[in-house]
């Protein structure tokens, strides 16, 4: 699917924008998951 997006005949600026957006979404999700795991209090039961 990603190869279809980046090989489609659209402007290179749009391709770069999509790539940056995908990277930022991935980083945001990773940081959120790590932050949630670190701040989640351990179960004492």
Question: Residue-wise pLDDT tens for the chain (45 aa)?
Answer: 556 655 666 666 777 888 899 999 999 998 888 887 777 676 666
Question: Token digits for 6?
Answer: 């980046």
Residue 22, C-beta contacts closer than 8 angstroms, at least 6 positions apart: 2
E runs forming strands in the chain = none
Please tell me the total number of residues recorded for the chain in this structure.
Answer: 45
Task: Pick the closest to residue 22 from 1, 37, 40, 39 (CA basis).
Answer: 1
- Gyration radius (Cα) of the chain, Å: 17
Calpha distance 18→14 (Å, rounded): 6
pLDDT of residue 24: 94
């Amino acid at each position: 699917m990603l190869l279809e997006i980046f090989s489609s005949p659209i402007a290179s600026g749009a391709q770069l924008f999509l790539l940056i957006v995908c990277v930022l979404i991935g980083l945001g999700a990773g940081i959120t998951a790590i932050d949630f795991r670190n701040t989640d209090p351990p179960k004492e039961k």
